[in-house]
């Protein structure tokens, strides 16, 4: 019992580690060390022979690759036409361009030989131009080590990693000087070896393989991130920087390794390249599959013992997991109030506690969803209430519209155009009100409904009513609840114009703000005294809904705004007696509650 309790209290990670160490690792480790020791030497020798062959293959293929730029350099160094183009004194830039255009040998070489990626000729000639083939060397170029070495070596070829002025990339290049004229003037020829061709040679190697120049700069590698680095940057033994052809035991990046080096010395060159292949001892031993075959018998016996221990441990775990599974099944059938307690401090015990916490969270979430659905139903109810309060339900819409249209046509026939216009406005307003559903509509439709309503009221009040509608063009398609502005305008006319003989001005303004739209409805009417204004604000803040109102009022608008967008969108009312009333509310941008 003590052992079972200890296992239950033990963390899953420690439990599995204890079982695995006891049942598998110790016997496997002993047998593995014995067998690996016997075969280690064989595996390393085989891998070393393979690497030596690979290095020799890379050297031969690289020799074939650099023979092409070497041969082209011989041709160009004795090409009198090229020398004439490079050193000729030109009278104007037109002659320079014409000479460059007529001399196509460099471009032909680049197109014919995929082994090279560029050719540059450096000759001092103040009358010439740079065209990435013929270049006038400035002091920054002539001070380069490779340029000075080429001049000093008197026609021998050199191989270095240098930067191409046109592509701003480094590549292994052939460099050699050539005589320009009989008086001893010299130029420098640079031929870039195609880096992709060099990479294709190296990418076939499974071990780390490098090509380095005489300055120990890596000009090519089957690991692209190493190209351009110095050999010392990859933390190799300092002896490798100086060693020539041969094989060496060394340390690379802190790991015991073997290094095979092969020299690559092109003919008629003052320097050469080295092919270096690096293999780690750990990398070689990973391929020792024979160890697994030879140790199969020992491993099998060890596994049998491991199975017994693992089976006992799994049985103990499965019983506790089965209890948890049965409890989950009860919850799945709808029992939200049951909780489980599983003894132990390991992962299974913690899982049962977390499941109980999750169960409580899901239960709370279900209640929240139910409350949200109830709130949504309330919104739809308030939206439907708008339509029924606009018209008496006893009037059939088609009969009403047909009657209004008949009246409008009769007024038009009798040349009472103002009456016809008023009837048309009323018909339009009633139709849009009846068509208002529970979903949102574009702001432009709501503004058009307000405009229609104001035009109809202007027919009634004539010059006593003026109105202004100002809407930001970017907000035309903003989704808003239907009949959200018109009731406020109606309220402004009711309290702002009916009580003033001189009339009133109604202004509706919709401004774009950072995260939505700010809507203002204000008038210059009679306004409210402070006590009346306080009563209105208190009424809007109450949680109960209007039951006795026979019209669409501010309370209905306020309730829908709060239900749909939250308290931040509630109506804000400012009023001064004999000055006017301003009603402001906010609608978040991009909110769509359809």
Structure tokens at 507: 């202004």
Element (H, E) at 426: helix 417-435
pTM of this prediction? 0.46
For 413, counting Cβ atoms within 10 Å of its Cβ (0-12 exposed, 13-18 middle, 19+ buried), the class is exposed
Dump the DSSP string for 120-189: EEE---TT----SSEE---HHHHTSHHHHHHHHTTT-BEEEEEE-TTT--EEEEEEEEEE-STT--EEEE
User: 147-163: buried (b, 16+ CB within 10 Å) or exposed (e) per residue?
Assistant: bebbeebeebbbbbbbe
Give residue 399's pLDDT: 44
Give residue 314's pLDDT: 65
Q: What share of the chain is helix, strand, coil (3-state, %, to 5)?
A: 55, 20, 25
Structure tokens at 509: 């303004």
The whole-angstrom separation of Cα 45 and Cα 41 is: 6
For 434, counting Cβ atoms within 10 Å of its Cβ (0-12 exposed, 13-18 middle, 19+ buried), the class is middle
The whole-angstrom separation of Cα 523 and Cα 531 is: 19
Low-confidence ranges of the chain (pLDDT < 50): 388, 390-396, 398-399, 545-552, 591-594
Inter-CA distances, 562 with 54, 433, 585, Å: 77, 22, 10
Give residue 390's pLDDT: 47
Give residue 407's pLDDT: 63
Decide: 221 and 193 in contact? Cβ < 8 Å.
no
Give residue 66's pLDDT: 92
Number of Cβ within a 10 Å radius of residue 222: 21
- Backbone phi and psi for residue 161, each to the nearest 5 degrees, phi listed first: -90, 110
Structure tokens at 189: 């020829």
State the distance between the two ends of the chain, measured CA to CA, in whole angstroms: 62
- Domains of the chain (ranges, CATH numbers): 51-285 (3.30.450.20), 375-588 (3.30.565.10)
Structure tokens at 564: 């749909």
């Amino acid at each position: 019992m003590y052992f079972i309790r200890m296992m239950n209290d033990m963390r899953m990670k420690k439990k599995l580690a204890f079982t695995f160490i006891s049942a598998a690792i110790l016997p496997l480790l002993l047998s593995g060390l014995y067998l690996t020791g016997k075969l280690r030497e064989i595996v390393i020798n085989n891998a070393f022979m393979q690497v030596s062959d690979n290095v020799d293959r890379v050297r031969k293929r690289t020799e074939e690759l650099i023979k092409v730029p070497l041969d082209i350099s011989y041709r160009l160094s004795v090409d009198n036409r090229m020398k004439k183009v490079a050193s000729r004194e030109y009278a104007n830039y037109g002659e320079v361009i014409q000479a460059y255009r007529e001399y196509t040998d460099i471009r032909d070489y680049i197109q014919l030989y995929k082994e090279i990626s560029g050719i540059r000729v450096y000759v001092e000639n103040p009358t010439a131009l740079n065209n990435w083939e013929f270049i006038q060397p400035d002091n920054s170029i002539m001070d380069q080590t490779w340029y000075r070495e080429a001049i000093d070596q008197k026609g021998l070829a050199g191989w270095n990693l240098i930067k191409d002025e046109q592509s701003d990339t480094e590549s292994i290049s052939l460099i050699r000087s050539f005589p320009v004229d009989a008086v001893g003037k010299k130029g420098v020829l640079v031929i870039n070896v195609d880096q992709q061709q060099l990479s294709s040679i190296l990418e076939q190697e499974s071990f780390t393989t490098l090509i380095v120049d005489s300055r120990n700069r890596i000009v090519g590698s089957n690991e692209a991130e190493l190209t351009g680095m110095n050999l010392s940057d990859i933390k190799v033994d300092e002896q490798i920087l100086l060693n020539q052809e041969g094989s060496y035991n060394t340390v690379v990046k802190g790991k015991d390794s073997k290094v095979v080096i092969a020299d690559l010395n092109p003919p008629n060159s003052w320097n050469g390249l080295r092919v270096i292949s690096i293999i780690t001892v750990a990398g070689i031993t990973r391929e020792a599959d024979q160890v697994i075959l030879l140790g199969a018998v020992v491993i099998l016996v060890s596994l049998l013992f491991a199975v017994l221990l693992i089976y006992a441990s799994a049985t103990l775990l499965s019983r506790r997991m089965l209890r948890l599974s049965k409890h989950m099944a009860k919850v799945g059938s709808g029992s939200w109030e049951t909780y489980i307690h599983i003894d132990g401090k390991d992962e299974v015990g913690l899982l049962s506690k977390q499941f109980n916490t999750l169960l409580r969270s899901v239960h709370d979430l279900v209640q929240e969803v139910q409350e949200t659905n109830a709130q949504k139903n309330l919104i739809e109810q308030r939206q439907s209430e708008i339509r029924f309060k606009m018209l008496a339900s006893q009037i059939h819409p088609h009969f009403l519209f047909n009657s209004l249209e008949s009246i409008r046509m009769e007024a038009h026939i009798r040349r009472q155009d103002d009456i016809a216009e008023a009837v048309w406005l009323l018909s339009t307003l009633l139709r849009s009100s009846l068509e208002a559903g529970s979903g949102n509509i574009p702001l432009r439709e709501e503004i058009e409904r307000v405009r229609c309503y104001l035009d109809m009221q202007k027919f009634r009040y004539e010059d006593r009513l003026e109105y202004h509608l100002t809407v930001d063009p970017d907000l035309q398609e903003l989704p808003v609840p239907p009949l959200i502005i018109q009731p406020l305008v109606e309220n402004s006319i009711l309290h702002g114009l009916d009580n003033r003989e001189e009339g009133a001005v109604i202004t509706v303004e919709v401004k774009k703000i950072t995260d939505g739209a700010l809507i203002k409805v204000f008038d210059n009417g009679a306004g409210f005294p402070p006590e009346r204004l306080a009563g209105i604000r208190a009424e809007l803040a109450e949680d109960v809904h209007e039951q006795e109102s026979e019209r669409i009022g501010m309370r209905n608008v306020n309730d829908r705004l709060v239900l749909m967008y939250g308290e931040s969108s509630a109506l804000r009312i400012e009023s001064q007696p004999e000055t006017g009333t301003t009603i402001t509310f906010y609608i978040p941008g991009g909110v769509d509650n359809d």
